[in-house]
Structure formats: structure tokens, C-alpha cells
Amino acid sequence: MNKADIGVIGMEVMGKNLALNMESRGYTVAVFNRTEQKTRDFAEGPARGKKFIPAYDLKDFVASLSSPRKIMLMVKEGTPVDGFIEKLIPLLNKGDLIIDGGNSFFKDTIRRNEELGPKGILFIGTGVSGGEEGALKGPAIMPGGQKEAYQLVEKILTDISAKADDGAPCVTYIGPGAAGHFVKTTHNGIEYGDMQLIGECAWFFKNALGMSAGETADIIAKWNGGSDILRSYLIEITADSMKEKNKNAPGYIVDIIADITRMKGTGTWTVQSALELLVPIPTIASAVFSREMSQDKDLRLKMSGILKPGSESVPSGERSQLVDIAHDALYIAKISSYAQGLALLQAASREYKFDLNLGQIAKIWRGGCIIRAQFLDEISKAYEENPALPNLLAAPKFSEFVNKNLWKLAKFIEIAHKSGVSALGMASSYDYIMQIASPVMVSAQVAALQRDYFGAHGYFKIGGTKDPAVVKNAQGKMTEFHTDWMIEGRPEKEITK
């Protein structure tokens, strides 16, 4: 029998569908799963009569692969990945390749790379986005690791990847080490932000504008039309799912869905990385915090009987104008959220030497993945025009829109709050723009003063009210000062370190 071109371990939805995708592009695929029955069900079900080599023993699985062997793990992140790597090592030769296609924590990927490198085994940590359907029909793929490892599977990954509207494959070499998993994690963080912002719009339509789920679905469906700036997969599925009627009673299914959003970890990891790298990502953090708040249903039921936030209703004559305002408010909030996510990627690229190309990353997110959207084309173009953009919001296409329409986001937040609708994501996006556009953050001036007062932590100085730049010494370093607050006359001295 011919040997397999690639092997997939993990016969759950993602592994099965990726294997089917590979086979449909002409590859012979070996498959294995810890629990034999799943491999058997696959072999006797969707794989029947196709070019698959099912294996029920890891040794047979490895032996069925052509050299250099290429093995893709599609198993639960954490111990299962380590367990399989440990079992595979003695069965592999130098130059063989293990690909971890699960949602692994990037620091685990760094460690695995370091462990496998000296053994001569190549390792790729890759993000695969698009869920069950994407895996089958074409996902966005974000592979990181050694360049030569990528070259071994470049053709297979390109063949199975989604294609954007212009036909470009949604896969590219992301960078060394854990670059792929870091980018996938941040992709998921951005996805959390998008979902939160869309959800806040739906809450606004329901509680501030008094609309039914069906009316909301109709509006959101329009936002997905033609060349609308909001056109995206998440907008599309929100409209499609919100219009779904309750099968057992009048009304819509969304109205009887429990307001509890669970999460698996990638959103939290994105926020943790942002905290470590000192990159503010308030919109993405607000999405994680909102999911956390959603899970404490008992507390919210108790507190809702105690606290009474606003419940003003909007006059019906203002509704259609507010729907238009919500459209542009959502777009600005989304730009702000993506600016935060991309700033995190930029910082990680510097810290971990990922050498990320943000324009390329935006390009491969245009198809296959959950955040696929029209507007990623604009992001990609913005970085192509100016790879040294200090922040996405500096791109003229976005800064001009924000400058002209930011008042709409402010209006949305104001009306939402008056109507008792939380707009944590929208407000976080708004305030990110406020802060990044502030030549002087007075709150930071006051906090620096407080820190020096109570803890002698020192402070820097600016040139004055007309010169907000930080004072530097002849060597170009920021000069640090301390005031002796407890001594009469409060003398100030320069701190030399």
C-alpha cells in the first residue's frame, strides 16, 4: 500500500474534518485516535472508500507515513499534546515533523520547540481557525516554527486553506517558535471583542430601542449587505441565528437562551499576555470580564433587585437615527479593538522575536476564520502602505472615519447607559481612543504624584503646559525626580541611578 502523505492524530470534529479536507485535495492521510472506536467509526463512516490509512496502534500509524513524516496533532491542548509528543519521539527520525494544530498556550509551544529542537525533530505550532466547517472546507491557518518545517507542509497547508475573495490562500508562514499560536490566541481575543461589541448592539436594540430579536436580526442582516463596512462572518451568523423562532412557544430562540457565556482559555491568555507585555487591550479585556460576569447568574439576579440603573426609553421617532448611529459606533469600536489586538501582536513580535508581518496576518484572516471580514482588506492595505504604522488608528482611512464619527460612539454609550444597557466593550473602545489621543493623561500625572508622595517612587517631567514631551538629559534618557514631601519647603531632587 502507498504510504500516507500526512497523518492526523485526534478524531474529534477538527481532526476528522481536517483529514477529510486533506484527502479531498488528493492526499493520502493516516489517522489515529487515543480511543480506537472513534478511528473505527471514522474509517467505516465518512472515510470509507477514500484514501485514508486508519491505524489502531501508534507504531503502525508512524510506519504508514512517508518520510520525512508529517504528523498533525488535533487533540485537546495541554497534557494530551505533551503525551502524544512523548510517545512519538522514540518512533520518529531526525527531520520528521510534528504539527500541533490545537489551541495551545504559546509558552507551551516555546517549551515544546526547545525540547524537540535538540532531538532534530521539527515542530510547528499552528492556529487553525474556522471551527468545524472551516476545518472541512478551508480554514485560516497560522503556522509558526522553523522555516524548513513550514516548507515541508507549505503545499498541503496551502491546498487545504480557505481562499479569500481575491483567491489568495489564507495561510502564510507566521514566524519562528510560537509565533503561530500567539497569533491564533490573539485572533481569538479579537473574536471575543467582536462578539462582545455585536452583543452590546443587540442589547441596545432590545432594551433602549424596544426592538424584537427579529427586528434586530433584520437590521444586522442589512449590515452584512454588499460593501457595508461591517460585513463579516460574525455579523452574518448573528443575523441568521437571531431571527430563529422559538420552536416550542411564540418568540425567538435568543430570548430563552441563558445569558451565560462560557470560555475555554484563549481570551484569557490574550489578556494575560497583554498584561505581561504592558499593552492595553481594554475592549478584549472587557469581553473576557463580561463573560465572567455572565457566569455569575445568581449574583446578578440578587443584585438586580438591589441596584436600579437607568431605564429611560427612547422616543420612537429617534429610533431609525439611532440605528444608523449604532452602525458607525460599532465600526469605530471594532477599529479600536483591532488596533488593540494588533498592538499586542506588535509588542509580542518585539519581545519574542516573532518578526510578524501585520499586513500579511490581516490578509490571511480575510477568509476561513471566525473574524473574517471585509474590513481586514483595509487593515492589510494600511500596513502595506505603511509597515511602520505606530497604531492601526493612525492609518488615514481609519483616523479620518474616527475623527468624523466618534461622536456617534459617545452617543451610543450615553443612550445605552440611560436605558440601563451595559456598554462595557463600546466604552472601552471609546476610551482607548481617548487615551491614545491624549498628549497629556492628567490621570497619570496625578497618579505619578500620588506614588511619589506615599512611596517616594519618583516621577518624570514634561516641558510645560505647551510642551508635553518628556524632559530628557544630554544622553537622551528621561530624567527622574523626587520631592521630599515630608520636609518643609518640599525640596525636589534629581534621582540618579
Question: Which of 25, 40, 51, 76 is the binder for ligand NBP (CB under 6 A)?
Answer: 76
Which positions from 118 to 157 touch ligand NBP by CB under 6 A, shown as an x/- string?
----------xx-xx-------------------------
* Residues 42-71 close enough to bind ligand NBP by CB under 6 A: none
Shortest CB 391 distance to ligand NBP, Å: 28
Residues 84-113 that bind ligand NBP (CB under 6 A): 102-103
**Out of 184, 206, 243, 408, which one is annotated catalytic?**
184
Set 70, 191, 206, 363: catalytic member = 191
Q: Which three cell numbers stand for residue 61?
A: 500509524
- Site for ligand NBP contains 282 (CB under 6 A): no
**Is 184 a catalytic site residue?**
yes
Confirm or reject binding of residue 11 to ligand NBP (CB under 6 A): yes
Q: How far is the CB of 329 from ligand NBP (least distance, A)?
A: 30
User: CB 153 → ligand NBP: shortest distance, Å?
Assistant: 17
Q: Residue from 77, 191, 194, 328 that binds ligand NBP (CB under 6 A)?
A: 77
Q: Would you say 128 or 149 has its CB closer to ligand NBP?
A: 128
Is 213 a binder of ligand NBP (CB under 6 A)? no
C-alpha cell at 256: 430563552
Nearer to ligand NBP, 9 or 271 (CB): 9
The CA distance from 177 to 365, in Å, is 20
Shortest distance in whole angstroms from residue 112 CB to ligand NBP: 14
The span from the CA of 327 to the CA of 321, in Å, is 10
* Bridge partner residues of 171 (DSSP): 141
Amino acid, res. 141: I
Calpha distance 114→290 (Å, rounded) = 36
As measured in angstroms, the least distance from the Cβ of 81 to ligand NBP is: 8
**Quick check: 480 binds ligand NBP (CB under 6 A)?**
no
d(CA 143, CA 149): 10
Query: Which among 12-20, 85-93, 209-217, 345-353 is the span making contact with ligand NBP, rule CB under 6 A?
Result: 12-20
For 278-341, the three-class secondary structure string (H helix, E strand, C coil) is CCCCHHHHHHHHHHHHHHCHHHHHHHHCCCCCCCCCCCHHHHHHHHHHHHHHHHHHHHHHHHHH
By CB under 6 A, tell whether 40 contacts ligand NBP.
no
Q: How far is the CB of 73 from ligand NBP (least distance, A)?
A: 8
- Pick between residue 183 and residue 217 the one whose CB is nearest to ligand NBP: 183
Measured CA to CA, the distance from residue 170 to residue 159 in angstroms comes to: 10
Nearest to 132 by CA among 7, 264, 265, 12: 12
Q: Does 79 engage in binding with ligand NBP (CB under 6 A)?
A: yes
Span interacting with ligand NBP, options 13-21, 192-200, 297-305, 380-388, rule CB under 6 A:
13-21
* Binders of ligand NBP in range 411-470 (CB under 6 A): none
Q: Is 13 near ligand NBP (CB under 6 A)?
A: yes
Q: How far is the CB of 13 from ligand NBP (least distance, A)?
A: 4
Closer to ligand NBP by Cβ: residue 7 or 282: 7
Q: CB of residue 76 vs ligand NBP: minimum separation in angstroms?
A: 4
What's the first-to-final CA gap in the chain, in angstroms? 71
Judged by beta carbon, residue 288 or residue 389, the one nearer ligand NBP is 288
Query: CB of 332: closest distance to ligand NBP in angstroms?
Result: 29
Dihedral of alpha carbons 235, 240, 241, 246, sign: positive
Residues that bind ligand NBP (rule: CB under 6 A) add up to a total of: 23
**Position 344 contacts ligand NBP (CB under 6 A):** no
CB of 407 to ligand NBP, least distance (A): 38
Rg value, the chain, Cα? 26
The stretch near ligand NBP (CB under 6 A) out of 33-41, 114-122, 334-342, 423-431 is: 33-41
Region near ligand NBP per CB under 6 A, out of 27-35, 218-226, 249-257, 447-455: 27-35
Q: Which of 56, 60, 83, 302 binds ligand NBP (CB under 6 A)?
A: 83
Judged by CB under 6 A, the residue of 20, 53, 71, 75 near ligand NBP is 75
| Contact residue for ligand NBP among 5, 6, 15, 323 (CB under 6 A) | 15
**Smaller CB separation from ligand NBP, 75 or 171:** 75
Cis preceding-peptide flag for 68 (omega within 30 of 0):
yes
Binding residues vs ligand NBP (CB under 6 A): 10-15, 33-35, 38, 74-77, 79-80, 83, 102-103, 128-129, 131-132
Catalogue the active-site residues.
184, 191
